[in-house]
Every structure is written in C-alpha cells, then in structure tokens.
Structure 1
Amino acid sequence: MAMQFYASPEQVQRDRSEYARKGIARGRSAVVLSYEGGILLVAENITTLRKISEIYDRIAFAAVGRYNEFENLRRAGVRMADMVGLTYDRRDVTGRALANAYTQTLGAIFSETQKPYEVEICIAQVGASPEQDELYRIMYDGSALDEPGFMAMGGQAEAISNVLRERHDVNADLPSALALAAEALGSVGGENGQPRTLEAKQLEVAVLDRRRAGRTFRRIADAALTSLLGHQSVPDADLGETDAAPPAHGDSKPTESAASENTESAAPEKSAESE
C-alpha cells in the first residue's frame, strides 16, 4: 500500500508564498505616489493590456503579476463599487472598503486553494489634499498595508522604493512626480545593474486628479506623456480623459449620504465600468 505524502501546514504555506513571490517578481513593476495635484500611477508596460484602471469616482486600481488573475479582481471591484453606489450613495464607495474586500478574497484563495494568485494590487483613493490620500497595498496572501505617500510593487520593489523614499515630495508638480516615478522604475533591470531610461511607449500612466469633481481618473498617453517625460507642462485639457463617458445622471438618485460627509462641491455623475 502506497504511503500518502504529508506536508505540515507551515510547509504548505511557505511553499505557496514562495511560489507567489517568484511569479510576481518575474513581472514588471508599478509605482503609485501622491503629488500636489493628485495621485500618480505609473507601470512599466509594453503591451496593450492595462495594469492601471479606474474603479470608481475617486478610486483607482493598479496591479502586477498574472494579468488574468488581477483582471478578475478588478472586475469584481468595479461590480462591488457600482452595487454600493447604486444601492446607497456614491460617497459610500471607499478605498478602505474595497481594500478590505480584496484582503478577504485573496486570503481565502491563498488558504483554501491549491494555487495562490500571483498578484499584488494597490487601491488608491485621492483626497482633498495629499495628506488625505489613501494607498492600500494588498499582497497575494491577503495581507494589507496602508502606505504613506508612495509605494512600489512587483519586480525589485524594494530597490525602487529606496529611490522614491529619498526623493518623494507630496508638493511636487506632475512633471516632477512623473520624472521621479520613471527614474525609480528605470533604476533596476539594466545590464550589469546600470539604470535604464524608460520612454513613453514603455510606460502606462494615469492620475487621480484631486481638482476635478466627479470622476477624477485620467489616462495620460501619446503626446501628453512624451511632453511630461521631457519635463514640460501640459494643459489640463490635453492630459486625457476617463476610459469611457459616463451615462446620464439619474434624477431620482439621492444626493445625501448617511454614512459619509459630502467632501465635494457638486454631486458627481454616474460611473461606467472601466475596460
């Protein structure tokens, strides 16, 4: 009679953690940081598949790792946010609630399934000032960290974080913040440890613009991105828009929230799911 293989629960957890970490480390990195005008999200990405997306009015999603796995998580987050916003009020949709949901989902997958998700995600919610910005980093095993001001994920995240830690300034303008993010991402991965210069075609960039009412997510690409990487200012009208136009506002929708204060000057429009 063949003997059944046995591994202690501690060994199983260690093996799953090592498996997930190796998968995440093989991918390209992403950086999220606060700046004077909002929250900047930058990912090294040479494909048309997006690592950065809008979740709701003032909330964005960034991820590294396996695309099919974090895309499933993104879609689930959009559905949850839309359900809460439609059932209660748009201001009741918060980054903290989404982060809590993701920690429970990833924790259950890590503990109860044979293969853990090889993903690391960030939920970013822009506030009225840099001090009120919220950055939540959720790991493959469901553990979560509340990052103050900046964070790096995937690849050689620790080395990238060291660059950000030395020079990050919440009062920087958008060109300066983007230059720092691109430099930090390019500080690793070069031949013989040399830094790289990343071009616009190698980057996926978006911002949560704190000065906008309603949907604050704006994707930056093409000429605007090239100009910003060259340390040139770009008019707000040329930065880019959201991924899809919002549908018309519902007249019967309540404008007061029983669970949160109204921190915006005007009621935002209804959201559409990001692609």
Structure 2
Amino acid sequence: MSTPFYVSPQQAMADRAEYARKGIARGRSVVVLQYTDGVLFVAENPSRALHKVSEIYDRIAFAAVGKYNEFENLRIGGVRYADLRGYTYHREDVTARGLANVYAQTLGTIFSSAAEKPYEVELIVAEVGNAPEDDQIYRLPHDGSIVDEHGSVAVGGNADQISTYLDQRHRDGMSLAEALRLAVDSLSRDTNGGERTLTAEQLEVAVLDRTRPQKRKFKRILGRQLSRLLDEPADAEQEKDEPAADAGESSGDAPSGKGGKSTGKSTGKDTGAESDADD
C-alpha cells in the first residue's frame, strides 16, 4: 500500500496564492483615483459589452480584474446584497465597507477550501461621500483580505509599477481631466519601461460624481465626452500660455483689471444625455 503524498498547509496555501496571482496578472489593469468631485475608474478594456467597472448601488461602484465569469458572479451577488439590505432596512445602510466585508468572506472561504480552486480575481469597491474625506476605496485580493486605500490604487497586470507611478504624481484636488490623464498615462506604461498610446476606444471610464443631483452617482464617460477630457490638458496649457505672451507684448499699457483673464475652463461634465444603464 502506497503512502499518500503529503503537502504542508503552508505550502498548499502558497501554491494556491501563486496560482491566483498568475491568473490575475494576465489581465489588463484597472486604476481608481480620487478627484475633487468624486472617484474615477479607468480600465484598459476594448470590449463594450463585457464591463470591468459597474454600478452596485446609489453611491457604490465595483471594479475587477481576472476571470470575467468569476468576478461577474461576485458583482451580481453584490447587487443582490445591496438591493435586499436597502429594501429591508434603509438605503443609507448599504455601504462600501459592508459590501467589502461580504466579498471578503466569500473570497476567503473559496481560497481556504481545498475542494475548489481559488478565484483568479482582484476587486475594488468604492463609495463616494459628501466630501472628499468621506470617500472610501477598498481593495480585495484573491485571498479575501481587505486593504483600505486612499488617493489611488491599481490592480491587475503590472499593478506594482502603475501604483508607484500614481503615488508619485497623484495629488488631492485634481480635476476630472487631470485625474483621467494621469490614469491613462499610468496604464500606458509597459512592464519594460516603454510607453504605449491608448485611445478612447480602448478605455472603459466611469465616475462616482458627488455633484450629481440624482441619488445614483454612477456615470459612464463615453464617446465625445471622453475624447474631450483626454484632449483637455493640452488645450488648457495652450490657453494658459497665450495670455502670458500677450501681457509681455503690451507691458507698457495700463492694467486692464479682470477683463484680460481667460474664462475658458471646462468642468469636464457633459450636459448632454447621461448613461445610467445597468450592466
């Protein structure tokens, strides 16, 4: 009679963690940033049908990388949890922290179970508050642990390199256009240090906008609005330089007060139709 092959619990958990990390690293990255009016989600995702970023509830959104069928099951479960809790108690009782705890229990149970493989997913759950200091961002790795993030976070692909890039450049009070440009720049960087060009068609972008009058703060940014936001930084710098040149040429003239200042700022908000469709 042969002796069963023995694997220590520590080695078994390490092998399962390595398996999950390799699956997650094969996916394209997702970046989540805080900006002055809310929370921005940017994912490299050319598909318009299979979303990596989705709405969960009024002020809560969900982003994920890894195997689509696995994180889609988690998303659906989160929507059901939020709807049931909001209906049973109150809409304000549905919070990102409560949802993150539910996801952590599910992922942790699956990861520790020897009967099935661990989920190859990494999640981000975010909630927008009434002020920037009230925003909440939670990252949930494959093993079910919870990491409370602030400012910016990246998951999937070369997340370590992207996170380092974001930590060095992200600041409080960024406009939507500035945060979007920073997110795209971080996603454009290859693992070998090179840079790619990402177009609007290759990106999935959404926001939790605290300034929206509706209860539902989630909004997808698509089409012309996305293209305009991506092009806005260069236009703003050009407009900023032009008044300076004019001032230098007419230095002998009397001050003209506020009339010479440019008011060509853009809030980055689309006044047209807004997409609130559920996934």
Q: Sort the TM-score into its range (normalised by shorter chain).
A: 0.7 to 0.9
What is the alpha-carbon distance in structure 1 between the residues aligned to residue 112 and residue 226 of structure 2? 41
1:27-66 to 2 correspondences below 5 Å: 27-48=27-48, 49-66=50-67
Aligned-residue CA RMSD in angstroms? 1.3
Give yes or no for the alignment of 1:241 onto 2:243: no
Give yes or no for the alignment of 1:117 onto 2:119: yes
Contact 1:221 1:240 in 2 (8 A): no
Deviation at 1:144, TM superposition (A): 0.8
Contact 1:30 1:43 in 2 (8 A): yes
Unaligned runs of 5+ in 2: 234-265
What is the alpha-carbon distance in structure 2 between the residues aligned to residue 30 and residue 170 of structure 1? 20
What is the alpha-carbon distance in structure 2 between the residues aligned to residue 41 and residue 240 of structure 1? 17
Unaligned runs of 5+ in 1: 244-273
Contact 1:218 1:239 in 2 (8 A): no
User: Deviation digits for residues 67-112 of structure 1, max 9, x if unmatched?
Assistant: 0000000000000000000011111100000000000000000001
Deviation at 1:167, TM superposition (A): 1.2
1:55-134 to 2 correspondences below 5 Å: 55-112=56-113, 113-134=115-136
SS at match of 2:232: coil
Give yes or no for the alignment of 1:222 onto 2:223: yes
Structure 1 or 2, whichever has the larger Rg, is: 2
Contact 2:31 2:42 in 1 (8 A): yes
Q: TM-score, normalised by structure 1?
A: 0.85
Give yes or no for the alignment of 1:13 onto 2:13: yes
Deviation at 1:236, TM superposition (A): 3.4
Contact 1:34 1:40 in 2 (8 A): yes
Contact 1:51 1:62 in 2 (8 A): yes
What is the alpha-carbon distance in structure 1 between the residues aligned to residue 41 and residue 203 of structure 2? 10
- Whichever structure has more helix as a proportion of its residues is 2
Q: Identity over aligned residues, as a percent?
A: 56
Aligned to 2:148: 146
SS at match of 2:22: helix
Question: Cα gap change, 1:200/1:180 in structure 2, threshold over 3 Å: closer, same or farther?
Answer: same
SS at match of 1:231: helix
Deviation at 1:6, TM superposition (A): 1.5
Contact 2:225 2:270 in 1 (8 A): no
What is the alpha-carbon distance in structure 2 between the residues aligned to residue 235 and residue 10 of structure 1? 51
Matched residue count: 243
Contact 2:78 2:99 in 1 (8 A): yes
Deviation at 1:242, TM superposition (A): 1.2
Q: TM-score, normalised by structure 2?
A: 0.84
SS at match of 2:123: strand
